[in-house]
Amino acid sequence: MVSVSNVRELLDSTVDDPHLVLEGGQVLVRDGASVAQNPSGLVVTTAQELRKTHGLEGDVTEDKLTRVAAILDDQVTKLGA
Protein backbone atom coordinates (compact mmCIF):
# COMPACT_ATOMS: atom_id res chain seq x y z
CA MET A 1 0.00 0.00 0.00
CA VAL A 2 2.75 2.51 0.94
CA SER A 3 5.16 2.71 -1.97
CA VAL A 4 8.53 4.27 -2.66
CA SER A 5 6.78 6.91 -4.77
CA ASN A 6 4.55 7.80 -1.78
CA VAL A 7 7.60 8.30 0.44
CA ARG A 8 9.39 10.31 -2.23
CA GLU A 9 6.29 12.47 -2.78
CA LEU A 10 6.08 13.14 0.96
CA LEU A 11 9.73 14.13 1.26
CA ASP A 12 9.61 16.30 -1.89
CA SER A 13 6.30 17.96 -1.02
CA THR A 14 6.12 21.75 -0.95
CA VAL A 15 2.94 21.92 1.17
CA ASP A 16 3.16 23.12 4.76
CA ASP A 17 3.81 20.31 7.24
CA PRO A 18 3.28 17.43 4.79
CA HIS A 19 1.55 14.31 6.14
CA LEU A 20 1.24 10.90 4.52
CA VAL A 21 -2.40 9.89 4.98
CA LEU A 22 -4.35 6.72 4.20
CA GLU A 23 -7.80 7.81 3.12
CA GLY A 24 -10.42 5.85 1.21
CA GLY A 25 -7.92 3.12 0.37
CA GLN A 26 -5.44 5.61 -1.12
CA VAL A 27 -2.16 6.90 0.25
CA LEU A 28 -2.06 10.68 -0.17
CA VAL A 29 0.09 13.64 0.84
CA ARG A 30 -1.89 16.32 2.67
CA ASP A 31 -0.84 19.50 4.43
CA GLY A 32 -0.98 19.50 8.21
CA ALA A 33 -3.75 22.11 8.44
CA SER A 34 -6.14 20.14 6.23
CA VAL A 35 -5.40 16.96 8.20
CA ALA A 36 -6.24 18.79 11.45
CA GLN A 37 -9.46 20.23 9.99
CA ASN A 38 -10.60 16.96 8.41
CA PRO A 39 -9.16 14.03 10.37
CA SER A 40 -11.04 11.38 8.37
CA GLY A 41 -7.88 9.59 7.24
CA LEU A 42 -5.20 7.64 9.07
CA VAL A 43 -1.97 9.61 9.40
CA VAL A 44 0.85 7.22 8.52
CA THR A 45 3.70 9.66 9.15
CA THR A 46 4.90 13.19 8.46
CA ALA A 47 7.88 14.38 6.45
CA GLN A 48 9.41 15.85 9.60
CA GLU A 49 9.02 12.57 11.48
CA LEU A 50 10.56 10.54 8.64
CA ARG A 51 13.55 12.85 8.39
CA LYS A 52 14.10 12.71 12.13
CA THR A 53 13.61 8.97 12.74
CA HIS A 54 15.16 7.61 9.53
CA GLY A 55 17.82 10.22 8.77
CA LEU A 56 16.31 11.15 5.42
CA GLU A 57 18.11 14.43 4.79
CA GLY A 58 19.66 15.54 1.51
CA ASP A 59 20.06 13.00 -1.26
CA VAL A 60 18.32 9.80 -0.21
CA THR A 61 19.19 6.57 -1.97
CA GLU A 62 16.57 4.44 -3.67
CA ASP A 63 17.53 1.60 -1.32
CA LYS A 64 16.81 3.71 1.76
CA LEU A 65 13.47 4.85 0.30
CA THR A 66 12.57 1.22 -0.40
CA ARG A 67 13.35 0.18 3.17
CA VAL A 68 11.37 3.07 4.67
CA ALA A 69 8.38 2.38 2.39
CA ALA A 70 8.44 -1.29 3.47
CA ILE A 71 8.48 -0.29 7.15
CA LEU A 72 5.55 2.09 6.69
CA ASP A 73 3.63 -0.44 4.63
CA ASP A 74 4.13 -3.04 7.36
CA GLN A 75 2.86 -0.61 10.00
CA VAL A 76 -0.27 0.16 7.96
CA THR A 77 -0.91 -3.54 7.35
CA LYS A 78 -0.58 -4.34 11.05
CA LEU A 79 -3.17 -1.67 11.81
CA GLY A 80 -5.57 -3.54 9.56
CA ALA A 81 -5.82 -0.89 6.87
Res 56: pLDDT: 81
Q: Where are the domains of the chain?
A: 4-78
Res 59: pLDDT: 82
Residue 81 has pLDDT above 70, yes or no: no
- Structure confidence by residue, pLDDT tens digits, 28-70: 999 999 999 988 899 999 999 999 999 888 788 999 999 999 9
The three-point CA angle 10-42-47 to 5° equals 25
Name the burial class of residue 44, with classes exposed (0-12), middle (13-18) and buried (19+) by CB atoms within 10 angstroms of its CB: buried
- Structure confidence by residue, pLDDT tens digits, 14-29: 999 999 999 999 999 9
